[in-house]
Amino acid sequence: MKETENHKAFPLLTPDIILQLAEQQLHCRCQAICRQLNSYINRVYELQTVDGQGLIIKFYRPGRWSRQAIEEADQFTQELQEQEIPVVAPLLLGNGTSLAQYKEIVFSIFPKTGGRFLDEFSEEQWLAIGRLLGRMHQAGASQTADNRETLHPRKTTAAQVDFLTGSDFMPPHLRDSFRHICSELITLITPLFANKETIRLHGDCHFANLIHRPGQGFFLIDFDDMINGPPIQDVWMLFPSYHQESLPEIELFLEGYQTFRPFNRSSLCLIEPLRAMRYIHYAAWCAHQSVDAGFLRQNPDWGSELYWQEEINDLAKQVERIQQKPDRATNNPMYK
């Protein structure tokens, strides 16, 4: 797959230009530091002002999001920050907004926020995460994000399946099998989304987007994948295992969450469907990044026959798990 025109914009970003853009927008002087950070979709660099303030400048890949969609994510984080909810929001730039543009590339600048990622949480930390997301969702429910997608199997997932099967990402002889298992999944889980609450979400709330600062607690970062959807989407990726193996953590989380906001326990039935949707979402994400030579160098097996066969097998296992869920949950008080 050949490099698209959108990818040709990034080579224009030389260190001199990046430093100049930051200095112009923030009316400051920067040291001769421009360290590129790992990001396939965007281009992200760490800078430092002459007085030692760390900065992160993010250049958004042209064509990935509309300017309006990026503005909605920035506005959401600024709204959360104004309510003293711990997030890392973009700085206001010289034009009075959080976004500026260099040629066709839109960019934001963030303060560098130190912290570390935790892959296991104590009981008190689960309560704290529940309180944090409860507060965020309370704000997220106050309005909609009209320029952001709505997470739903018939919308986002179906579009991703069409994207993956409509090109040459997978061997032709596996396309029918992939389409079949995805169709079975979408048909199975769509009724579970009926009448479920939809609010503004972080959308990609996993360990790497939740940093912990000693003495300050957790901060949410990277709202690039902000989406409208059921609140459980911002939770399930943090649990240590499948739904039935994470019941103690779920209870702790809900105790903290419900300090600030009610939680509809019936939406717990979406955990495993959302996991299956994530499999497809991630495959589509990889397909978008496969035009980047750096991605393929670091993921040489992506797109191989073995990769897609394992993807099909994983989806089939997840369908089986979802089909078993109603029987196991019938007498479970968590669903009442």
What backbone phi and psi angles, to 5 degrees, belong to 200? -70, 135
User: pTM for this structure?
Assistant: 0.90
Q: Token pair 């997220």 is at which residue?
A: 140
Position 247 scores a pLDDT of 96
The 10s digit of each residue's pLDDT in 301-321 is 999 999 999 999 999 999 999
Neighbours of 1 (CB within 10 A): 11
Angstrom distance (rounded) from CA 252 to CA 124: 8
Backbone phi, then psi, for 93, in 5-degree steps? -100, -175
Active-site residue among 222, 224, 225, 234? 222
Task: Tell me the β-bridge partners of 199.
Answer: 229
- Mean pLDDT over 4-24 rounds to 81
pLDDT in tens, 209-234: 999 998 899 999 999 999 999 999 99
Query: Quick one: which of 231, 262, 268 has its CA closest to 249?
Result: 268
Within a 10 A sphere around the Cβ of 20, how many other Cβ atoms?
Answer: 13
Average pLDDT over residues 198-203: 97
Percent over 90 (pLDDT), the chain: 80
Structure tokens at 30: 């920067």
204: annotated active-site residue:
yes
Question: pLDDT tier at 249 (50, 70, 90 boundaries)?
Answer: very high
Say if residues 212 and 251 touch (Cβ distance below 8 Å): no
Catalytic residue among 74, 176, 204, 301, which? Answer: 204
The answer to whether 314 is a known catalytic residue is no
Q: 127-165, pLDDT tens digit by residue?
A: 999 999 999 999 999 998 999 999 999 999 999 999 999
Per the DSSP assignment, residues forming a β-bridge with 63 are none
Task: Give the pLDDT score at 7.
Answer: 54
Confidence (pLDDT) at 150: 96
Measured between alpha carbons, how far is 167 from 257 in angstroms, rounded to an integer? 42
